[in-house]
Amino acid sequence: MSETFAIGIGGAAGQGVATPGDIFAMIFSRRGLHLNAYNAYQSIIRGGHTFLTIRTGIEPVECMGDGIDLLIPLNQDTMDRHLRLLTTGGACIYNADTIKPGAAADGVQLCALPVSKMADITRNKVAQNTLALGAALSMMGVGFQSLESVIAGQFGRKGEAVVKENVDLARTGYEYATANFKPFARPLPMTEKRYAVLSGNAAMAMGGAAAGVKFYCAYPMSPSTGVLHWMAGHGRKAGIMVRQMEDEIGVINMAIGAAHAGVRSMCATSGGGFALMTEGLGLSAMAEIPVVAINCMRAGPSTGVPTKTEQGDLWQALGAAFGDFPRVIAAPLNIGDCFTLMAEIFNVTDRFQCPGIVLCDLLLSEGRLSVDPKLLDFIPEIDRGELITTNGDFHEEEYLRYKFTESGVSPRAIPGLLGYTHTVASDEHEENGVLISDEYTNAGKRRAMMDKRMRKVAGIEAMVPPPVLEGPQDAQVTLVGWGSTDGTIREARARLAEQGITANQLQIRWLVPLHGDAILKILRAAKHTILVENNYSGQFARYLRSETSFVADGHIRKYDGEPFMPHHIAEGVREQLSGSTTLSVPTHEVMV
Amino acid sequence: MATLNIVAPGPIAMADFKGKVDPDWCPGCGDFGVLAAVQKALVELQIPNHRVATVSGIGCSSNFPGFINTYGMHTLHGRSLPVASGLKLANHELTVLVTGGDGDGFGIGCGHFVHAMRRNINLTYLVLDNQIYGLTTGQTSPTSRIGMKTKSNPYGNEDAPVNPLTLALSAGATFVARGFSGDQKHLTELIKQAIQHKGFSFLDIFSPCVTYNKDNTFQWFRPRVKKLEDNAEYDATNWVAAMEKATVWGDEIPIGKFYESTDIPSLEETEPVLDAGPLINHELHIPPDVAKKFVEELM
Ligand SMILES: Cc1ncc(C[n+]2csc(CCOP(=O)(O)OP(=O)(O)O)c2C)c(N)n1
Ligand code: SF4
């Protein structure tokens, strides 16, 4: 893994952690650097503890990493909790008036800012933040100009005077650090590249817009609300109808209504809201109206931990709605993939006229990542499947909305066309949409229609690629993960490689269809398999076993609300290779 | 049994709206009268069947879309309004009718009912109100009277009934009316007005369940219903008067148009995204300059 630099900023909610975070992110991206940001926070608007980790480097930064190089505690609590994350060469910049430093590791520079002597703190309550920002950039070897221009952009809307005040404060901090603190060993690099920085929620919203979504509705629920916010802020410019509904039952049903009219239609929620949507997903399947529902997973059950992450909704997605029906479920691997996946899943759901579920999680939804703007393709390939959108000719035969075909897909006419009137139905029906109970419930008709719908499964499987093994073929250990753990597992493999342990990785993106045979072939050839999941019970392990009978050699699971850090996985692997356990459950060492 | 989907050019006639199957309601069910009135209203308004969508929930009355030849959606119990709202917003050039029962609309779907009225989307919502759960064989409904004996309340209903009209009026419905399946002409007229109203129109229709409701029968309603239209003084633009009239219940039960407000624009009229026409006609890809700005915002 190439060189990275990580900054941790922490404080109580309302202390202004976000602004310096945004400024650092902007400076990194303007220097042509990649970045990854993750904010650990609580479900309160004021107080508590929030800790933002922002990590940058020349190569893509796929996770928050294991340590930090610079700590900026905005209160004593943050100092007490996080100082131990710093190792030799690291530094901590703090307000000497209000915060007492703790015992730091050898070689950690404690940089005390005499804030009350540097600024009028009665006037500017967040002066310490701006002073620390200036000091940090001096120590990182970043020229003051770049900070000045970002501040101007950040505060421009508040007027000239506010910009000047903040630039002056930042300069004071910058100059103080230049005179009093030791710069970091390696100055922050710079490249000619330019990246876009976005959250997973924004990425899914934009990905939907790029995929041709014209209708979006939602009911607010963390951590999915960012999708609604992006849509609400950009919908009118993009020609997307955005509606806030009274509840998630209304959301899914409204989305289905719009989809039936003939537009691509999408909604997002989290576990609780998704639970309310399930009957609607069954309607999508039965009436054969494609719709995409995003579930941004948070720690459950019930209201759970609204601001903490988990991969705990796999079985909910697999079992959503009663009865058997074709569905697709995909878990984006990273924030860039949150964008790319949307057009892909819409193509599948449109082609096979079935519900699609995106299983994202808080880590991606609310994390931020630098992405090459070229990857944000707003003209992706769009396949709307067998959709009839023009008036028919005069014809003698009846249009059969649910016509029996070999593929199971029946051409879908949108309402309003001459020649295709029909009724789509939630009750079981015949080829022409007439409810089978309208005559007499006929076992043969029921079976034929079930078979027709289920024939689509084979087509879906053929359309979606199987997962591929990444890394050395003959590795000592094969790590299997799904969705958002991709980058962390990859970095853990790099850590292991440094320690002489070779590991490869099978990361699952499409959960349904799973491609069990292809997976089985890969895993049977593996020397030692370990399943890595951000949940308690090994939901994917159980799913894999139910589909393939495959039982992994070991498991690494985490369910404390925080995502994996690479060392959690690397340590689990070492522990398991030594034979001491087959289940490692790392916990977050630092309370965030 | 199969009907042709194409209607020969010419005046729109009752036959155009004949469904693929005949209704399987119990002989004498009030829903037959409502179906006929809806078909007649569409013919009188000369709306071609392929420009109409009929969306229902689940219940005897919700089987309605299958018995009329329009675009139909038979959805989930209580969910007809959100589905119809999505359909209408995605293609607002369609005439969208929503049909269902009192259980569907005021019980399981009551939350959507209230919010749909707030939004004032141009939908025509017809509740075939039989004061009982028909399809599930005779349980208490949200409009069953106190004391009514049903399978789920063998000792008599203890919960006060909702008043659909005052509920609709207070939720901001811009058209509120009540009809009776036993008075075809009057009902047809109300349905026509409801369809022509620009905004959400709500029509509560007494549609007796001859099998499970022995209280609120055709015979019970007939002497009681009094048309508001027969009262020259009644002013349907007066919301307060409408609220008052809507609470009258007993020997006299008013039917007719209680309230209509024509100066509140529908959601489709005010939503800027629809300035460019129905969503279904929009380009799939968003304009490149707009897309470019979205990305630049992130840099
Ligand atoms: C979620 C759900 N709960 C319960 C039912 C069972 N159910 C079907 S129709 C109905 C009530 C029917 O009463 P109403 O809506 O008044 O219509 P009617 O049959 O009287 O016309 C019920 C409870 C269902 N289909 N779905
Ligand atoms: S049970 Fe009642 S509501 Fe249902 S069809 Fe028979 S009469 Fe009509």
* Domain residue extents for chain B: 14-272
- Pick the atom of ligand 2 nearest to B128's CA: 3
Q: Higher confidence at residue A1 or residue A162?
A: A162
Half-sphere exposure of A230 (CA within 13 A, CB side): 24
Q: In chain A, which among 414-433 make CB contacts under 8 A with chain B?
A: 414-427, 432-433
Whether the pLDDT of residue B7 is over 90: the answer is no
Task: Give per-residue pLDDT as tens, B133-190.
Answer: 999 999 999 999 999 999 999 999 999 999 999 999 999 999 999 999 999 999 999 9
**Residue B190, min C-alpha distance to chain A (Å):** 24
User: Hey, which of B22, B24, B25, B181 would you mutate to test ligand 2's pocket, going by the most ligand atoms within 8 Å of its Cβ?
Assistant: B25
- Nearest CA to A304 out of A281, A275, A324, A280 is that of A275
DSSP code of B236? T
> What is the structure's pLDDT at A48?
84
Atom of ligand 1 nearest to the CA of B207: 21
CA dist B26 and A130 (Å) reads: 76
Q: Return the domain boundaries, chain A.
A: 4-180, 197-376, 386-464, 469-589
As a whole number of angstroms, the distance between CA B76 and CA A180 comes to 70
Smallest CA–CA distance, residue A282 to chain B, in Å, is 9
End-to-end CA distance of chain B: 62
pTM of the model: 0.97
Confidence bin at B8 (pLDDT 50/70/90): low
Same fold, A197-376 and A469-589: yes
Residue A1's pLDDT band (cuts 50, 70, 90): very low
Angle, to 10 degrees, between the axis of helix A539-548 and the axis of helix A516-524? 100
Q: How far is B76 from chain A (nearest CA, A)?
A: 7
Residues linked to residue A370 through DSSP beta bridges, in sequence order: A197
Give the pLDDT mean for B61-89. Answer: 98
Residue A357 has pLDDT above 60, yes or no: yes
- Which of A77-91, A178-192, A382-396, A473-487 comes out lowest in average pLDDT? A382-396
Q: What is the pLDDT of residue A396?
A: 66
CA–chain centroid gap for B95, Å, is 12
Name the more confident of A592 and A78. Answer: A78
Mean pLDDT throughout B269-286?
97
DSSP states of A94-154: EETTT----PPPTT-EEEEE-HHHHS-TTT-TTHHHHHHHHHHHHHTT--HHHHHHHHHHH
| Ligand 1 close to Cβ of residue B133 (< 6 A) | yes
Region at B186 (left for phi over 0; alpha for psi -120 to 50; beta for the rest): alpha
Q: What is the ipTM of this complex?
A: 0.97
* pLDDT tens-digit series, residues A106-151: 999 999 999 999 998 778 888 999 999 999 999 999 999 999 999 9
Residue of B nearest to A395 (CA): B6
Question: Roughly how many angstroms between the first and final C-alpha of chain A, as a whole number?
Answer: 26
Q: Which helix (H) or strand (E) holds A166?
A: helix A160-180
Query: What's A197-376's CATH class?
Result: alpha beta
CATH classification for the domain delimited by A4-180, as one of 3.40.920.10, 3.40.50.300, 3.20.20.70, 3.40.630.10? 3.40.920.10
Match 């853990």 to its residue by tokens.
A492
Contact map slice: B 104-123 vs A, CB within 8 A: 111-112, 114-115
Distance B134 CA to ligand 2 centre (A): 5
Per-residue pLDDT at B4? 41
Does B3 score more than 50 pLDDT? no
Does domain A469-589 bear CATH number 3.40.50.920?
A: yes
Q: Are A265 and B90 in contact (CB under 8 A)?
A: yes
What is the arithmetic mean of pLDDT over B201-207? 98
Cis peptide bond upstream of A306, omega within 30: no
**Contact by Cβ (8 Å): B259, B114:** no
Residue A2, pLDDT score: 60
Ligand nearest to the CA of B218: 2
Integer angstrom CA distances of residue B27 from A538, B57, B130: 56, 22, 15
For A382-422, write each residue's pLDDT tens digit.
999 999 999 987 566 899 999 999 999 999 999 999 999 99
Q: Residue B100: which of B116, B120, B124 has the closest Cα?
A: B124
> DSSP letters of A196-238?
EEEEHHHHHHHHHHHTTEEEEEE---TTTHHHHHHHHHHHHHH
Q: Is B201 helix (H, G, I), strand (E, B) or coil?
A: strand
**Ligand 1 midpoint to CA A105 (Å):** 68
Nearest CA in chain B to A206: B294
Query: Counting atoms of ligand 2 from 1, which one is nearest the CA of B60?
Result: 4
With tokens 């409810």, the residue in question is: A435
User: Token pair of A527, please?
Assistant: 């020397």
Domain B14-272 superfamily per CATH: Thiamin diphosphate (ThDP)-binding fold, Pyr/PP domains (3.40.50.970)
Would you give the distance in Å from CA A69 to the centre of its chain? 25
